[in-house]
Amino acid sequence: MYKFDLIGLCGPADVGKTTAATIISKELGYRILGFADPIRETVLKLIPAWDGHNIEDGIDIMNSLLRRSPRDLMRIIGDHARSLQWDIYIRRAERRVRALRDEGVPGVVIHDLRTEHEANWVREYGGRLIHLNRYGVKYRADHPTEMRVYPQPCDTLINNPGTIGGFRRKLLCHHRSISSWIGM
């Protein structure tokens, strides 16, 4: 029987969500998605010189144009879209996850889970949340998408030890234990 795995990664900025998603993708063949992918795509069209990954790389470009960082611009666009339809990015992610599942992809890892609504959708869809922590990395309170998603009993906590090798071992050890438990 075909098993499909959905993982949502959450934690503060700079905790290693994208790094974790990259490790999971390379090791397990999962696809990486983000709730904010549509926002990032929009900002990339506005700032063609930004590579879309490192927010800080686009700061000089944005400062010269609008006096806003790419992160600020993404927040403005995201806030506006969510004011029109609060679950717009969840609905889009659901369509993309369903299409990938139908293609036979073994799993999807969402690297930018930031709200309780997103967390609840992942859980309701049968996925699991991994809350990432790293020493010295704290949540910021400067925007609603930078607030903590509170862990539920079914969620997992993984501490990023600060090295790629150590982080990889923790992520894959967690996956092996979950896979054997659920029979994947």
Residues 164, 97: one domain?
Answer: yes
Q: Is 8 exposed, middle or buried (0-12, 13-18, 19+ CB in 10 A)?
A: buried
* Number of structural domains found in the chain: 2
Boundary residue ending a domain (26, 56, 84)? 84
Residues 101, 21: one domain?
Answer: yes
> Domain containing 72: what range?
38-84
172: tokens are 């894959």
Q: What is the pLDDT of residues 3-17, one digit of tens each?
A: 789 999 999 989 999
Residues 102, 16: one domain?
Answer: yes
User: Quick check: 177 pLDDT over 80?
Assistant: no
Q: What is the pLDDT of residues 32-88, one digit of tens each?
A: 999 989 888 887 777 666 555 555 555 555 555 566 677 777 888 888 888 888 898
pLDDT at 182: 43
Residues 47, 122: one domain?
Answer: no
- The secondary structure of residue 144, as a DSSP letter, is G
Residues 17, 108: one domain?
Answer: yes
pLDDT at 61: 54
Residues 55, 129: one domain?
Answer: no
The structure's pTM equals 0.83
Mean pLDDT of 102-113: 94
pLDDT at 1: 46
